[in-house]
């Protein structure tokens, strides 16, 4: 039976979560658990004038990851995919222990993709990097506390804004693990999804400021048929929360329409989005506990694309990033036979999404 996630110490995490369940052999790609053999492959590829695209993931692969891998295969001869649930980007009270881990299904998806890629004029997945936490963090179990010890990469003030306001260690963990992955793989190109827009801005800044010799490529957000942005955490939603959670993309789309209609001021762009969020929440609150899905809006932001500073007026030559985050609360009461998602509706789920307001001609 599912139990609510309790924070794990880093030591228990090491013990519990670093061993994929299936064998590491007989795939169409090589699976690396350690750095030196992967470096040897990378050196051989370089000497053969091959190009490498790296797609960093935490596993639980969905169509968003697959589309990034396709993009990487179209632009490189060899694709490396990393699968590593990175402990340092989870705060002490966050969902590290309950984060979905689906190694066998992930490997099956990658195998299937490689079969497809094999028949076309493009690159293929050559390597999966699935390191242990000890490989990635050789010196210390690094802390997930904000002022804890460890060798970290911090990109401020970007990391303190938006997602960083409620997840203070998140981007430190992301930047740190990506720096490690970039150093290990030395990819020609690295691939990230627009869905995690702030992450893309932080990574681009890190690559620029540390003179990392790689190109950051951003793939479009992949969406379900109803418009929900794909995310590994969506498995926890279930039907009721998933339907109510569409409020986020609806609100962002209202703001986008206002911009496309020529509005440039913050109020003119965001007021419609705020009304949608308010009205949807009021509607849910009016339903009974067995029917409703309550949520909390963390932010709806209209920000500069490079600095993520909130803007009062959009510079039409630059455009802006519209983004938002909500938390779907656990279901208060569930009905027999209801699809409440993995965890039976008891896990709160943070949803993020964004739309890029392109510069106007």
Best CA proximity match to 98, nearest among 245, 293, 233: 233
Is 144 among the residues that bind ligand PAF (CB under 6 A)?
A: no
What gap in Å lies between CA 20 and CA 2, rounded to an integer?
Answer: 21
Among 20-28, 34-42, 150-158, 172-180, the segment contacting ligand PAF (CB under 6 A): 172-180
Q: How far is the CB of 69 from ligand PAF (least distance, A)?
A: 13
What gap in Å lies between CA 104 and CA 111, rounded to an integer?
Answer: 11
Measured from the CB atom, the residue of 14 and 58 that comes closer to ligand PAF is 58
Binder of ligand PAF out of 117, 127, 158, 177 (CB under 6 A): 177
State the virtual CA torsion across 23, 25, 30, 33 in degrees, nearest 10: 40
Is 221 among the residues that bind ligand PAF (CB under 6 A)?
A: no
Measured from the CB atom, the residue of 87 and 341 that comes closer to ligand PAF is 87
Per-residue DSSP letters for 245-289? HTHHHHHHHHHHHHHHTT--BHHHHHHHHHHHHHHHHHHHHTS-T
Binder of ligand PAF out of 174, 216, 229, 248 (CB under 6 A): 174
Is 216 among the residues that bind ligand PAF (CB under 6 A)?
A: no
Is 196 among the residues that bind ligand PAF (CB under 6 A)?
A: yes
**Cα dist from 334 to 18, 80, 331, whole Å:** 34, 42, 7
Best CA proximity match to 182, nearest among 169, 172, 191: 191
List 26, 62, 65, 211, catalytic entry: 65
Q: How far is the CB of 232 from ligand PAF (least distance, A)?
A: 7
Residue 255 near residue 322 (C-beta atoms within 8 A):
yes
The half-sphere exposure of 6 on its side-chain side, counting CA atoms within 13 A, is 4
Residues 324-343 that bind ligand PAF (CB under 6 A): none
How many residues touch ligand PAF under the rule CB under 6 A: the total is: 10
Measured from the CB atom, the residue of 31 and 269 that comes closer to ligand PAF is 31
Is 230 among the residues that bind ligand PAF (CB under 6 A)?
A: no
Q: Which two three-digit tokens encode residue 85?
A: 């649930």
Q: How far is the CB of 132 from ligand PAF (least distance, A)?
A: 15
Q: Which long-range contacts (CB under 8 A, 24 or more apart) does 255-259 make?
A: 255/300, 255/302, 255/322, 255/355, 256/322, 256/355, 256/357, 259/314, 259/320, 259/322, 259/357
Measured from the CB atom, the residue of 59 and 272 that comes closer to ligand PAF is 59
Q: Which helix (H) or strand (E) holds 13?
A: helix 10-17
Measured from the CB atom, the residue of 29 and 192 that comes closer to ligand PAF is 192
Look up 65 and say whether it is catalytic. Answer: yes
Best CA proximity match to 163, nearest among 278, 10, 296, 308: 308
Q: How far is the CB of 194 from ligand PAF (least distance, A)?
A: 11
State the binding string over 37-56 for ligand PAF (x if CB under 6 A, else -).
-------------------x
Is 86 among the residues that bind ligand PAF (CB under 6 A)?
A: yes
Binder of ligand PAF out of 57, 126, 176, 194 (CB under 6 A): 57
What gap in Å lies between CA 143 and CA 348, rounded to an integer?
Answer: 24
Q: Which two three-digit tokens encode residue 360?
A: 């106007």
Contact positions toward ligand PAF, by CB under 6 A? Answer: 56-58, 86, 89, 174, 177-178, 196, 199
Indicate which residues carry an active-site annotation.
65
């Amino acid at each position: 039976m599912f139990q609510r996630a309790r924070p794990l110490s880093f030591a228990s995490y090491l013990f519990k979560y670093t061993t994929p369940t299936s064998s590491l052999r007989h795939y169409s790609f090589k699976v690396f658990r350690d750095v030196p053999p992967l470096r040897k492959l990378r050196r051989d590829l370089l000497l053969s004038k091959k190009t490498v695209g790296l797609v960093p993931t935490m596993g639980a692969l969905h169509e968003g990851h697959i589309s990034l891998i396709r993009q990487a295969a179209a632009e490189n001869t060899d694709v490396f995919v990393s699968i590593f649930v990175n402990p340092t980007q989870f705060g002490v009270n966050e969902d590290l222990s309950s984060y979905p881990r689906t190694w066998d299904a992930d490997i099956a998806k990658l195998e299937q993709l490689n079969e497809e890629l094999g028949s076309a004029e493009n690159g293929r997945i050559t390597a999966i990097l699935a390191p242990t936490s000890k490989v990635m963090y050789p010196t210390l179990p690094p802390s997930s506390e904000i002022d804890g010890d460890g060798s970290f990469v911090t990109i401020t003030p970007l990391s303190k804004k938006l997602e960083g306001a409620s997840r203070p260690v998140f981007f430190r963990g992301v930047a740190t693990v990506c720096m490690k992955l970039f150093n290990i793989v030395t990819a020609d190109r690295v691939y990230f999804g627009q869905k995690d827009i702030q992450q893309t801005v932080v990574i681009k800044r890190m690559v620029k400021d540390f003179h990392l010799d790689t190109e950051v490529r951003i793939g479009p957000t992949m969406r379900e048929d109803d418009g929900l942005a794909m995310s590994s955490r969506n498995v926890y939603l279930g039907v009721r929360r998933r339907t109510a959670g569409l409020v986020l993309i609806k609100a962002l789309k209202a703001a986008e329409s206002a911009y496309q209609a020529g509005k440039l001021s913050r109020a003119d762009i965001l007021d419609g989005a705020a009304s949608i969020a308010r009205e949807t929440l009021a509607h849910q609150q009016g339903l009974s506990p067995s029917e409703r899905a309550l949520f909390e809006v963390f932010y709806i932001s209209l920000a500069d694309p490079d600095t993520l500073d909130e803007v009062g007026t959009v510079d039409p030559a630059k455009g802006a990033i519209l983004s938002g985050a909500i938390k779907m609360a656990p279901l208060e009461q569930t009905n027999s036979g209801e699809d409440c998602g993995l965890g039976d509706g008891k896990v709160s789920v943070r949803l993020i999404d964004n739309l890029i307001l392109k510069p106007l001609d």
